[in-house]
Structures are given as structure tokens and as C-alpha cells.
A and B are shown apart, each in its own frame.
Chain A
Amino acid sequence: MAQYEAVIGLEVHIELKTDTKIFCHSSTEFGAVANRHVCPVCLGLPGVLPVVNKKAVEYAIKAGLALNCRIASFSKFDRKNYYYPDLPKNYQISQYDLPIAEHGHLKININGTDKRIGITRVHMEEDAGKLVHQGTPSTTPYSLVDYNRTGVPLIEIVSEPDMRSADEAVAYLEKLKAIIQYTGVSDCKMQEGSLRCDANISVRPVGQAELGTRAELKNMNSFKALHKAVTYEIERQIKLVQSGERVIQETRTWDDSKGVTLSMRSKEEAHDYRYFPDPDLAPLVIDQRWVDEIKAGLPELPDERRARFVSEYKLPEYDAMVLTATRELADYYEQCVQLFNNPKLVSNWVMGDLARMMNASGREIGDVLISPAQLAEMLQLMDKGTISGKIAKTVFEEMFNTGKDPGKVVEEKGLVQISDAALIDKVVDEVIAANPKSVEDYRAGKEKVIGFLVGQVMKATTGKANPGMVNKLLKEKLS
């Protein structure tokens, strides 16, 4: 039976983090009371006109540059006409044939190998509002509309169909998100809808150049959902083709609760958007000097930062990749290293205990209560021998939950390490006296037993005895 491969391209919508909307001065603040941030322009009232927000254009150019695109010197806005109650003008101002940026790419890493994914285009558009459905059609025979989001600037980033698996699609989206976040033009919060992703998927027998019929997948609100949806859709299409049926060109939605994709509309029902140049907006003539200025202001991007982490901090490639996945995490790491110059130890804590507790609590790096300075302080306490590595884990957990300074946690919980030789000596004697069988085994050559005895001493001191000293003393006394 023929082997099949998937061909995947992603369309990603990203809200730009400007203070005001793309064509007016209304605020873009998220989460405000419904219809608080609206004006005649974003409501599309009769007679109003759009005026483009220069900052939004700058951000779109910045994103385009970060994605290695060519920036157009001449670009324009077009109208995309369709009817929907959340679209006040019943057309969306978008860009059709002359997008602001084209021909870019980014690199993803799959199983240690770099792969280049092409970016077809980046174009600007305005966001639509949001319908709020209350109750059921029988209890509330109407829906409400919130226009706060209407006119928030968006960029749509369209990839080439260069991905071949769900893993690659997720890796692409993660990398795209990281790059955009690094530039600072968007916070890319999927849960707030500031990053939204659609996927075009088709399958074909391996070796065939021609593309199969594609389906467009919508409504995937997390990386996990993207992975599951793409996997499901690839399998669905392969099954269809294998059983001799054909894939229909259509738009499908991902139902996360059922774990399936469902048909939304077929090509036959597809819109004719009747695009034409928006006569209310002059074309965008973009000065190369402005582009150069924006380019000069681009921050270090994930790939560059990863390479620097390897060379500057001598970190393993893997550590560098994980730590630079988001700008916030990389910033956190570097701030900590500035204060505690042991890059690998810091990396171990950030990738280990910190990442584990973040996962368990669902917190993101921005919401973590431990500051880089506090983590550095804790590592110093460990370094000075004030606390043991084991105690450090306890201290860290308390810091993570409360945000308290490490010194304060140690003090409150009485966690200072016991390095008093006389005191340890006394406990060691007691443990030796209480475990004659183990002592005998050790002396008979079972050196592993020492671990048990150390453990007994630690237990007796509730973990506070300096483990190095305990080890040394035990060995002396038993030899």
C-alpha cells in the first residue's frame, strides 16, 4: 500500500499591540466592558472615514523583517466584502494583491535538524467584533455584539505549504510566536485570541509532486488542539483516499471536546469577497529609510539568542533552545545569571524545578512569583552552604507559592543547615549505635550501606545536617 504524506500550510492572525485601533483613536485594551472602546469610525457609522495608524504599519513592517520578508515599497488597502453582524461596515479593510511584506522564512528544529519554512506573505487588516450568544434561541431570540475588538490591528501571516506533520506545524507556530513576541509587536496570547491559527491540509502519495485536495481547519485555540486537529485531519484524509473516496475542498472546524473535525462550509458556498482598493485610504508608500530604521531597532531574535547562549554561557544546545523559547524566559534566565554566575546551574533550576512547577500550576513565566533576583539569592545560600540542595527544593517550593525571599523562608521554617561538627558527631554516634547490622555490612565491604546511614542522620536532623560533613564523619568512624 502506498505511503502518504501530509502537506500543511498555516494562516496565522496576530493582533498588534498598539495602544489605539488601526483606523481610529479608540483603545485596544483587552477585557473592557462591552462596547466601551468604540467611536464613530470603528463602528462604521454613516459618513466616517479610516485613517491608518502609523504605529500599526511600523509593527507590521517589524514583524515582516523579523520573518525575513521583503517589505513592499508600495502597498495598499483593499475592501473584503461580506455580511456578518460583528463586521460594522460589512466589509473588512484588508490587503489583497499588494501586502506589506512577502517572501520570508523561518527555521524550525525537528529532532535536532533545522528545516526552513517559507512565509508567503504578511498583510495588515482590521479585526472584527465579537458576537455574544446568550441562552438558547428559544429563551433569548437575539444575540449581542461587542465591538471593542473591531478595528484592532491584525497581521495575517501565511506560510508556504512546507510542513509535513503535526509536529512540524506545532514547531512552526511555536517559532512564529516566539519571533513575534521577541519583536514586541504582539503578546500572542492564544487564550485571549491575540494569536489565532488556521491550517490548510492535504495528503498525497509519497513521491507525488502534485498537491491533493485541501481542507481548511479553523478554531484551534492551543498548541495541543493544533496538534490533535492536524493529526486527526491527516488520518481522516488518508483513510478517505485509501478507501477510494475523494477529499472535498471545504472549511472544517475543530471540535476540541469530541476530538474531531467537522464540515463548516464547502467550496460551493465559498464567498466572493469582491475585493477592490479602498477608495477612502491612500496607498501606503513606504520609505526605505524608515524600513532601515525599523530593522536597526529589531531586538535579538530567538535563533541569534540561542546561539549566543551556547557560546557565551557554554550551555548545551538543548538548554539554549528551551531557555530562548520565549523572550520572557530568556530574559528571566539572563537576569538570574547576571546575579549568580553559574550558567549551567541556573539553567538546571529554570528548566527543572521552575518549569516543573510552572507546568503543574499552569503559570506562565510572566506570572511567576519568584523574581530572577530571588532565585539568584537562593542559589547563593546553597553555594555558601547555608542550605543544602535538598532544603533548597523545599525553599524553592515555598518561594514559588508565596513569592517570599529565600532568606525569609529559611528563617521562618528553621531550615538553616547544621554544620556544627560536635552536634553532627553526636548524631552520627547515635545512628552507628542504633544500626549495628548496617555497620557490620559496611565493614564487610558493602559500601552502598553508607547511603542508608547518611539518610538516617539526615532524618534525625530533619534534613538540616550538612550532607558533606555527615558523609565524611561516618566514613572516618567506620573505617
Chain B
Amino acid sequence: MELNYLTAHQLHDMLVSKEVSAEEIIRAVFDRVEQVEDKIRAYITLNKEQAVARARLVDKARAGGEYLPPLAGIPVAVKDNICTNGIRTTCASKILYNYIPPYDATVMERLNACRAVLVGKTNMDEFAMGSSCENSAFFSTCNPWDTGRVPGGSSGGSAAAVAAGETVLALGSDTGGSIRQPASFCGVVGMKPTYGAVSRYGLVAYASSLDQIGPLARDVTDCALLLNVICGHDPLDSTSAPYNVPDYTSFLNGDIKGMKIGVPREYMGQGIDAAVKDIIYKAIDVYTGLGAVVEETTLPHTEYALPAYYLIAPAEASSNLARYDGVRYGYRAKDAADIVDMFMQTRSEGFGPEVKRRIMLGTYALSAGYYDAYYNKALKVRTLIKADFDRAFEQFDLLLAPTAPVTAFRRGEKLDDPLQMYMVDICTLAVNLAGIPAISIPAGMAHNLPVGLQLMGRPFGEGDILRAAYAFEQNTDHHRKLPQ
């Protein structure tokens, strides 16, 4: 098998045993990019020269007998809303088409410190708003399993790059399912860590109280290795939790006997594709077979997650995106009559329709006279949703559900119907509102497309999730399937 299709842990072993060099790995990745990128279109910006130079430094270090951390020399693609010092960071928006950050996001610093190699910046829905990677101001990314279909969003570029062998690992961001849903559509592993587990410093904010950076990978072990690097307290992020990060690979031992898994009935009801449901039932059988205790449970406020999300996220977004005004950086409208006109024209021309829709929604929800009826009410719903999970986790170690109600849909299919598009994240949104961690792992195929299994855990219960995900992976081979 080509190097670019191996996992990070396999490549690490080969690097240490000198079977392969870091330069060979990165070249294999860029060869693959050359081969398929015009069909997949996963990347906004490629970082080839610098990546090769970095790989050579890793080889040099190895030659000098230095210790190689697990991700040294491993190619990583990064979603284009994560700031990279000196490398264009656009958020797939016209308004930031020429923006080059003067600093690295904390996750980038951590990747650099362990000598991972940045392949490039991946395509996304503009400012992470969308569920199909079609809201990019530049181009749409295609699903490697069927290029007529979407890769999911908003981290579609990162998920597609992993699935297509255009990188080994990737980072995405998840505000309402933006890592898990594309992972599900593209047949890869994607995880949203607990809110506060990974620093948001340098992640261009969409909705601050929901956003979380997380890994996309080919298997659970790689996911754990990437988590090991990016998790941990950051003094630059006030919402980052001070906690001791365990070695997440220590949970990968296959032992899940007696583990209690709940299946919320709200996630298995109407709107879930029958074939998807069927695969989830098969996954439940696998867990039962491994000695886990699986029972139905309930999260009664689930139906309110979508409306609450579409008040809270746009409200925060309307404020977070106010800074893009043409004054200091990015796109500026020409020939404006005065400063107010310049603000208005810049934002009218610079933002795409979905971003504008959410800014308007959020502005309305926060405006005087409507605040209590909308924003404040949504916060109360959020508290109820959180309480649902708290109750469930008194009884269960994990909750199990489909990641998405459907498999990857056709490109353009839902573009003209925002509400239809919003429904695609119905199984993932509540997790962000509650701040808990969740993973999506490949669980099988329906309609010749990958289906994701979602496992949700207690706050900072990433270890439990990884343990169960790994056990499933060890007893199935869905993660080994590759798109043709």
C-alpha cells in the first residue's frame, strides 16, 4: 500500500526503524494530491515547499539520533479557519481571501513542537457555517467515495483529504457537528473533544461557546495520538480547562466488558434513513457481543436542540464576525462614499449568503426587545439539554447514535433549502450545546456510502469514548475500506 494511505502510528514505526524517511512520506502525500486534487478539491492552500523542508529537518534529527515524537514527520492537513503564521488563512471567505496571520494558533504551535508536517489548509464552509462544504467562497469539495456527492461540512476539506489519501491526519473544528458529520460522510474517524479540552486560541471564531478543534484520522489510534498533542490547558484561552491530559492511547486495550451504553430513542426515530438505522443496530450487536450492556434511553429535549442552536450560534457569530469590516485587513469595497458605506459595501460583497443569513438571524435574536424571547430562551433550553445528558450519564458510560441521519447527499441537492441543510446536523448539535465529547467512526456502508457511528461521553470522558471506539474497530473492518 502507498505510504499516504498508512496510519500515523504505522508510519511512525517505519520512520523509527528507518524503513522510510519523512521526506518520502510527504512526497507520497503530495504525489497523491497531484493525482486527485483536481477531482476532490480538498485544499485552499498547499504548503509543499515548507512541508518538504520540515520533513527533511525531521530526517536530519533522526540521523542525529534524536528522539522522534509520535507525530514527527507525519503529514497533517489543517482546516482553513485555524491560524497559521505566515500562511494564508481564509475561512473560505472572500472577506479574508488575502489574510495572512502573524501568529500560530495554539494547536499549530503544538503540532510544530512535535514536528508534525503541515500539508496545507483545507476547504470548508465559509466561516464554518454549513453542512456540505458547498458554502466555500472559492469552490466546493467533493466526496472521495462519489465525487457527485458532498463530503459533508463544514470540515469537509479535512475529512475528504484524509479519505482520499491526500494527508494522513487532519484538524477540523466542530460547532454543531462539523467534524463528526463529514467524518461520517467520508468514512473516517472524527472527534469533537470536550469544550475546553483543546485551546481555541487561533481558531477563527464562529460561535465561541460551541466551537472546538478536533482530530480527523483513519483509525482510532491515530485519533488518540493527535488528541495527545492538541489537548491541554492554554493560558491564552480563558475557556480552556486546567486538567491533566492522560495518554489517550492507554485506553486502547479492547476491554469494554460491563460498559453501559445508552441508545437515546430520539436519535433513532423519524428522519433517520432506514439503511443508516440498520447499520447502527448492527453496531449495537457488536457491542453486545463484546460484553457491553446496551439499553434504550431518552434525551427528552432533543427536539429543541436545533432551534436553540440556530439562535445561540448565529447570535455569537453576529458579534464574532463584526470585526470583518475592511478597515484593517482582508477585502475592502472600492469607491465607498464614507466609512459607514465602506463597512456596508465590504460586508455585503465580502460575505456569502449563508454567513449573511446567520448574521441577520443573530443580530435579530440579540436586539433589544427580542433578547429574552429568543437568545435568553435558547440559553435556558441549552441548560435543559445539558441536564438531559447529565441524567443519562448517571446511568450510562456512553451514549450511542447515528452521526448523521443520512449518507452523503448529492451536490447542490440541499443548497436552496437552508432548513433541509440544517437538519443534517440534527444528531450532532446537542453535543455542542452540552459541551460533551463525541466521536464518529466508520460503521459500515449504506447506498454504497459510508455511515458513521457516534459515541458520546461525559465531559472529559474522551478515554471512555476511545476505548469503546477502539474495541469496535478491532472487531470490524469498516475503517479499512478505501474509496476507489
Which A residues have a C-beta under 8 Å from some C-beta of B?
40, 43-52, 79, 81, 83, 85, 88-91, 145, 272, 274-276, 279-282
Q: Is B375 an interface residue (CB 8 A)?
A: yes
- Interchain CB contact under 8 A, A51 and B102: no
- Interchain CB contact under 8 A, A49 and B371: no
Which B residues have a C-beta under 8 Å from some C-beta of A?
81-83, 89, 91, 96, 99, 101-103, 105, 200-205, 207-209, 235-239, 315-316, 318-319, 322-323, 325, 327-329, 339-340, 343, 363, 366-368, 371, 375
Chain B residues closer than 8 Å to A47, beta-carbon distance: 81-83, 89, 101, 105, 201-205
Taking A47-B105, A280-B208 as known contacts, 6 extra A-B pairs with beta carbons closer than 8 A to each other, sorted by chain A number, are: A46-B91, A49-B200, A81-B322, A83-B322, A274-B367, A274-B371
- Interchain CB contact under 8 A, A279 and B208: yes
Chain B residues closer than 8 Å to A89, beta-carbon distance: 322-323
Chain B residues closer than 8 Å to A79, beta-carbon distance: 319
Q: Using known A-B contacts A49-B237, A51-B236, determine if residue A276 contacts B328 with beta carbons closer than 8 Å.
A: no
Pull 20 A–B residue pairs with CB atoms less than 8 Å apart, ordered by A: A40-B102, A43-B328, A45-B101, A45-B102, A45-B329, A46-B101, A46-B205, A47-B81, A47-B89, A47-B205, A49-B238, A51-B235, A52-B238, A88-B328, A90-B322, A90-B323, A90-B325, A274-B363, A279-B209, A282-B239
Q: Identify B325's interface contact among A46, A49, A83, CB under 8 A.
A: A83
In the complex, the chain B residue whose C-beta lies closest to that of A281 is B238
- Interchain CB contact under 8 A, B367 and A145: no
Chain B residues closer than 8 Å to A50, beta-carbon distance: 238
Chain B residues closer than 8 Å to A43, beta-carbon distance: 328
A400 to B176, CA, bound (A): 70
A126 to B316, CA, bound (A): 19
3 smallest CB-CB distances across A and B, nearest first, come from A90-B322, A279-B208, A279-B209
In the complex, the chain B residue whose C-beta lies closest to that of A85 is B327
Q: Identify A272's interface contact among B103, B237, B328, B367, CB under 8 A.
A: B367
A409 to B475, CA, bound (A): 99
A52 to B81, CA, bound (A): 24
- Interchain CB contact under 8 A, B322 and A46: no
- Interchain CB contact under 8 A, A46 and B99: yes
A46 to B105, CA, bound (A): 10
- Interchain CB contact under 8 A, A145 and B327: yes
- Nearest-neighbour CB distance to chain A for B368, whole angstroms, equals 5
- Interchain CB contact under 8 A, A280 and B238: yes
- Interchain CB contact under 8 A, A48 and B201: yes
- Interchain CB contact under 8 A, A91 and B319: yes
- Interchain CB contact under 8 A, B368 and A274: yes
A440 to B201, CA, bound (A): 97
- Nearest-neighbour CB distance to chain B for A210, whole angstroms, equals 24
- Interchain CB contact under 8 A, B315 and A83: no
Chain A residues closer than 8 Å to B367, beta-carbon distance: 272, 274
A50 to B237, CA, bound (A): 7
- Nearest-neighbour CB distance to chain A for B266, whole angstroms, equals 27
In the complex, the chain A residue whose C-beta lies closest to that of B200 is A49
- Interchain CB contact under 8 A, B328 and A81: no
- Nearest-neighbour CB distance to chain B for A94, whole angstroms, equals 13
- Nearest-neighbour CB distance to chain B for A149, whole angstroms, equals 16
- Interchain CB contact under 8 A, A276 and B319: yes
Q: Using known A-B contacts A40-B103, A279-B208, determine if residue A274 contacts B366 with beta carbons closer than 8 Å.
A: yes
Q: Using known A-B contacts A43-B328, A46-B91, A81-B322, determine if residue A276 contacts B239 with beta carbons closer than 8 Å.
A: no
Chain A residues closer than 8 Å to B315, beta-carbon distance: 276
A81 to B316, CA, bound (A): 11
Chain B residues closer than 8 Å to A276, beta-carbon distance: 315, 319, 366, 371, 375
- Interchain CB contact under 8 A, B322 and A91: yes
A281 to B236, CA, bound (A): 11
- Interchain CB contact under 8 A, B319 and A49: no
A81 to B375, CA, bound (A): 15
- Interchain CB contact under 8 A, A85 and B339: yes
A279 to B368, CA, bound (A): 19
Chain B residues closer than 8 Å to A44, beta-carbon distance: 323
- Nearest-neighbour CB distance to chain A for B100, whole angstroms, equals 11
Name, among B207, B238, B367, the residue most crowded by chain A CB atoms within 10 Å (CB to CB): B238
In the complex, the chain A residue whose C-beta lies closest to that of B210 is A279
- Nearest-neighbour CB distance to chain A for B365, whole angstroms, equals 9
Chain A residues closer than 8 Å to B325, beta-carbon distance: 83, 85, 90
Q: Identify A83's interface contact among B105, B209, B329, B343, CB under 8 A.
A: B343
Chain A residues closer than 8 Å to B343, beta-carbon distance: 83
A282 to B241, CA, bound (A): 11
Name, among A44, A47, A88, the residue most crowded by chain B CB atoms within 10 Å (CB to CB): A47
- Interchain CB contact under 8 A, A49 and B322: no
In the complex, the chain A residue whose C-beta lies closest to that of B325 is A90
- Nearest-neighbour CB distance to chain A for B371, whole angstroms, equals 7
In the complex, the chain A residue whose C-beta lies closest to that of B324 is A46
Chain A residues closer than 8 Å to B323, beta-carbon distance: 44, 46, 88-90
- Nearest-neighbour CB distance to chain B for A4, whole angstroms, equals 33
- Nearest-neighbour CB distance to chain B for A40, whole angstroms, equals 5
- Nearest-neighbour CB distance to chain A for B237, whole angstroms, equals 5
In the complex, the chain A residue whose C-beta lies closest to that of B211 is A279
- Nearest-neighbour CB distance to chain A for B314, whole angstroms, equals 12
A264 to B235, CA, bound (A): 42
Chain B residues closer than 8 Å to A279, beta-carbon distance: 207-209, 239, 316
A48 to B81, CA, bound (A): 12
- Nearest-neighbour CB distance to chain A for B121, whole angstroms, equals 13
Q: Using known A-B contacts A85-B339, A89-B322, A91-B319, determine if residue A49 contacts B236 with beta carbons closer than 8 Å.
A: yes
- Nearest-neighbour CB distance to chain A for B128, whole angstroms, equals 12
- Nearest-neighbour CB distance to chain B for A34, whole angstroms, equals 14
Chain A residues closer than 8 Å to B103, beta-carbon distance: 40, 45
- Interchain CB contact under 8 A, B96 and A46: yes
- Nearest-neighbour CB distance to chain B for A73, whole angstroms, equals 19
Chain A residues closer than 8 Å to B340, beta-carbon distance: 83
- Nearest-neighbour CB distance to chain B for A281, whole angstroms, equals 5
A48 to B237, CA, bound (A): 9
A464 to B481, CA, bound (A): 110
In the complex, the chain A residue whose C-beta lies closest to that of B104 is A47
- Interchain CB contact under 8 A, A81 and B238: no
Chain B residues closer than 8 Å to A81, beta-carbon distance: 318-319, 322, 366
Chain A residues closer than 8 Å to B102, beta-carbon distance: 40, 45
Chain B residues closer than 8 Å to A272, beta-carbon distance: 367-368
- Nearest-neighbour CB distance to chain A for B234, whole angstroms, equals 9
In the complex, the chain A residue whose C-beta lies closest to that of B96 is A46
- Nearest-neighbour CB distance to chain B for A80, whole angstroms, equals 10
A350 to B328, CA, bound (A): 52
A290 to B209, CA, bound (A): 29
In the complex, the chain A residue whose C-beta lies closest to that of B103 is A40
In the complex, the chain B residue whose C-beta lies closest to that of A83 is B343
Name, among A50, A91, A276, the residue most crowded by chain B CB atoms within 10 Å (CB to CB): A276
A16 to B6, CA, bound (A): 56
- Nearest-neighbour CB distance to chain B for A88, whole angstroms, equals 6
